[in-house]
């Protein structure tokens, strides 16, 4: 079996060059994705393995990324737990109290078996050296959507709820952490080589709340999973020194802090990132220059995975991603 550079880097083993994948690489900046979505809704695409696999494979065919991230959504397991969700384009649902979340109960992995089938199809279709990346939303971020009823600028209802009743918040996060762990374990059993935990809204919280609620829930979500595990919380530079308590193998870093400075604060782990997604809206010369700066800051360190500091913007020209891939591999 060929070695997978992305797995090797996350295990901090020597690689010939930094491996590369892009968050949201399977998605709406690609014309072939938009053409497919003209015929199928988002939820239909996620829940139909042949469609989800096709979307996952599109950037692998185009760019030859080192990782194929499965096309799904962080709310996928919550739907399977009985929560009615629509997407417009982000999740829209009935706002839940903390007691509502506690009452959700356990995740039945069979209800998300379509994700496992997608992983099987992708694994069979990609080169042996390409890693399959599974993922889930971190409990605190999923709780934010549940309490708020969708995405907002400040998530004030969520933030006030966890302050008013931290005990109920911890109990709700325990429910979500068990579901997340089971969901990720199912993806690994289906063939995922790596899993990433997205904690999109953790950075809205103060350090005390992060340490008391978010980090224990994230740690439980990743516990006992025997593949490299990545944790990513954008906008959370104020918590970098706390994040190693989660016990992940690698940590994503956004563009707001130099990657070498972030690495010093994270310690002896692999680090992923941290190009500004706006770089891909510039031009090929700027992209090459920014890649050179990034790689200069990580030179001599093992365990760097090239990625953006957040998901790729929908307006990114695909040829600019080609320029990024060429710059990294040159």
Catalytic residues: 24, 28, 37, 73, 145
Give which of 212, 122, 204, 125 is closest to 167, Cα–Cα: 212
Tokens 């995975």 locate to 305
Quote the CA–CA distance of 148 and 137 in Å, as a whole number. 16
Give which of 258, 274, 261, 262 is closest to 308, Cα–Cα: 274
Q: List, in sequence order, the alpha helices (H) in 149-237.
A: 156-164, 166-190, 207-209, 215-222
The Cβ-side half-sphere exposure at 51, using a 13 Å CA radius, reads 19
Quote the CA–CA distance of 40 and 38 in Å, as a whole number. 6
Radius of gyration of the chain (CA): 19
What SS3 class is residue 152?
Answer: coil
What SS3 class is residue 271?
Answer: strand
CA torsion, points 115, 133, 138, 238, in degrees to nearest 10? -160
Tokens 């302050």 locate to 163
Q: Residue 181 belongs to what H/E stretch?
A: helix 166-190
Quote the CA–CA distance of 297 and 172 in Å, as a whole number. 40
Quote the CA–CA distance of 126 and 26 in Å, as a whole number. 14
């Amino acid at each position: 079996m060929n070695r997978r550079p992305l797995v090797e880097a996350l295990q901090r083993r020597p690689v010939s060059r930094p491996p590369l994948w892009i968050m949201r690489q399977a998605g709406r900046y690609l014309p072939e994705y938009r053409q497919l979505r003209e015929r199928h809704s988002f939820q239909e695409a996620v829940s139909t393995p042949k469609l989800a696999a096709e979307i996952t494979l599109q950037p692998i065919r185009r760019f030859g990324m080192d990782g194929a991230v499965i096309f799904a959504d962080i709310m996928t397991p919550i739907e399977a737990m009985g929560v009615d969700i629509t997407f417009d384009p982000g999740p829209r649902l009935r706002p839940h109290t903390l007691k509502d979340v506690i009452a959700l109960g356990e995740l039945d992995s069979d209800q998300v078996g379509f994700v496992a089938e997608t992983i099987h199809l992708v694994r069979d279709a990609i080169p042996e050296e390409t890693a399959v990346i599974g993922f889930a939303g971190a409990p605190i971020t999923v709780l934010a959507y549940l309490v708020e009823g969708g995405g907002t600028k400040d998530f004030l209802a969520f933030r006030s709820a966890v302050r008013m009743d931290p005990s109920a918040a911890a109990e709700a996060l325990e429910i979500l952490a068990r579901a997340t762990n089971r969901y990720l374990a199912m993806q690994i059993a289906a063939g995922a080589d790596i899993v990433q935990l997205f904690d999109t809204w953790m950075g809205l919280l103060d350090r005390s709340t992060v340490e008391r609620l978010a980090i224990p829930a994230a740690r439980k979500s990743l516990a006992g999973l025997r593949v490299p595990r990545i944790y990513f919380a954008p906008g959370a530079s104020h918590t970098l020194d706390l994040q190693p308590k989660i016990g992940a193998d690698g940590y994503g870093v956004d563009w707001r802090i130099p990657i070498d400075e972030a690495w010093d604060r994270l310690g002896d782990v692999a680090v992923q990132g941290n190009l500004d997604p706006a770089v891909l809206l510039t031009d090929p010369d700027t992209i090459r220059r920014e890649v050179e700066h990034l790689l200069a800051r990580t030179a001599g360190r093992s365990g760097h995975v090239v990625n953006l500091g957040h998901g790729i913007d929908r307006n990114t020209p695909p040829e600019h991603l080609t320029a990024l891939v060429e710059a990294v591999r040159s």
